Structure 1
Amino acid sequence: MSDFRTAVITFPGSNCDRDMASALEKISGRAPLRVWHGDAELPERLDFIALPGGFSYGDYLRCGAIASRSPVMRAVIEAANRGVPVLGVCNGFQVLTESGLLPGALLRNSGIRFVCREVALKVENVGSLFTSGYKAGQVIHIPVAHHDGNYFADEQTLEQLEAEGRVAFRYVDDINGSARGIAGVLNAAGNVLGMMPHPERAVEPAHGGSDGHALFESAMRGLVGA
């Protein structure tokens, strides 16, 4: 997969961009391109775009709100609409909802506390590009680190997500009050995934677990084989 071209978007306040870049390089065998929030265009021929965790723009207004209006996000939205896979983790998930690429919103954790620990997730959808490396109902363990990870959407949207199989991951124990325990959702086309847990922090045993490895590998192998 050495020809696989990935990119990591960095916003002011991103602090997981290096983690994401390291994970992508480890699995693809090629260092990702680093893209700054002020860039008006993305590099050509990208196979995968990642929006990392952090506190973009200091989480002012709402988490991810200002970043979603960055110049580069126009290009990310266009790429996603063309079918390029886009992964948003933690703050990246917040940016995806604020930009309209994913439904819903991420609110303050129900306990009003920052949660930083490993959590158990149930894999709900194994038919997507990102989750085909897992088994249906498999429980995986991935770290979380967030203060605003409480996923919210109205009942109609929640019912639609469930009916269309767009809930990718669900918390085994709902740590933040998310509606229906939702930890990750897909767009209708299946090429955009947002999730609060950090799979890039679980790609090798030295991390304490490698359950996140399959997410990246299945996406890359799926695209290479497409």
Structure 2
Amino acid sequence: MSPATPVSTAYASSTQQLQSVLTATGIEKAYRRGVWPARRSLTVLRGADLSLAHGEVVGLVGENGSGKSTLMKILVGALRPDAGTVSYDGRLGYCPQEPIVYERLTCDEHFELFGRAYGMAPEAERRARRAIYESLSFERHAATRSDQLSGGTLSKLNLGLALLADPEVLLLDEPYAGFDFDTYLKFWDLVGQRRQAGRSVLIISHFVTDEERFDRIVQLRDGKTQPRDGKAVA
């Protein structure tokens, strides 16, 4: 997992979207499979649109293979679309579905490394780290190497690194996989705090059980986004 910063001028912050903190329009993506002459193209996204307003919590759902993670990677700049535009206002925090960490580093060392990458002052990083440990209850693992963490604690570290710099937009790909119920509730407490602070959260999941926790739920189907009522996304 790389620190969540703007990755290129194509993804520069936009002040034109006064109501939206993140806007994606007409996103298309196809993958090439095989070798010539049997090479074929698999189209995943066919003009997907998505926007997040300040202080909004949005769920993005879809079947396995529908392109949810592909769209998320495009939003954070880890993958280039074949067509379409992405603009955002502020810093992005990204929590990938599969944690990408350094096996020989402890939790503390990960936070220190990412804090430097974010350009955080050392004391600000330490304050944020302590708050994350307390919120997700894994301070006792501060000196534990990541290759010795349980799956649930590794998921906490993965989420904590995305939260560290208090990003305006938090993009989470299946963030609570491996959480026990107590941690799941703590996760939603954190999301609620971010909503109250005017921060935006996009959560990808293959299914949603607690719909009342979201402001909107968007479905990805046939390469396009639509609200759960089936109408096209404006």
**TM-score (ref. length: structure 1):** 0.32
| Bigger radius of gyration | 2
**TM-score (ref. length: structure 2):** 0.31
Greater RCO, CA 8 A, separation 6+: 2
